[in-house]
Amino acid sequence: DTGVSQDPRHKITKRGQNVTFRCDPISEHNRLYWYRQTLGQGPEFLTYFQNEAQLEKSRLLSDRFSAERPKGSFSTLEIQRTEQGDSAMYLCASSRDPAGAFYNEQFFGPGTRLTVL
């Protein structure tokens, strides 16, 4: 168990550019979540996958944001035409899906810190 990994850890980009982040969940986890955390705030939910299906999207996920999880393994989060307000830490989390269980701990990755200049 190597934990949730995210790449890159840091990304600096100019306004208007596109960026893509990758998340590799813990191997046996079928649920994957993306959160965004701005300075001084708690993480805010963006979207959630069960296997390859994107089951829920937050209103925070504007049409410039898109997330995929092909084959139910790693996931990518792309931001098109970045804006300065997109500057934040983007956190990925994964969890198992034990049948009948309500409690399932989400394991978080180290995050990707995005700075839009």
**Which residues sit at the interface with another protein, rule CB under 8 A?**
31, 33, 35, 40-45, 48, 50, 55-56, 58, 89, 91, 93, 95, 97-98, 101-111, 113
**Minimal distance in Å, beta carbon 41 to another protein?**
6
**Minimal distance in Å, beta carbon 108 to another protein?**
4
Q: Toward another protein, which CB reaches closer, 5 or 20?
A: 5
Q: Toward another protein, which CB reaches closer, 12 or 55?
A: 55
Q: Toward another protein, which CB reaches closer, 56 or 68?
A: 56
**Minimal distance in Å, beta carbon 109 to another protein?**
7
CA dihedral 111, 87, 65, 103 (to 10 degrees): 40
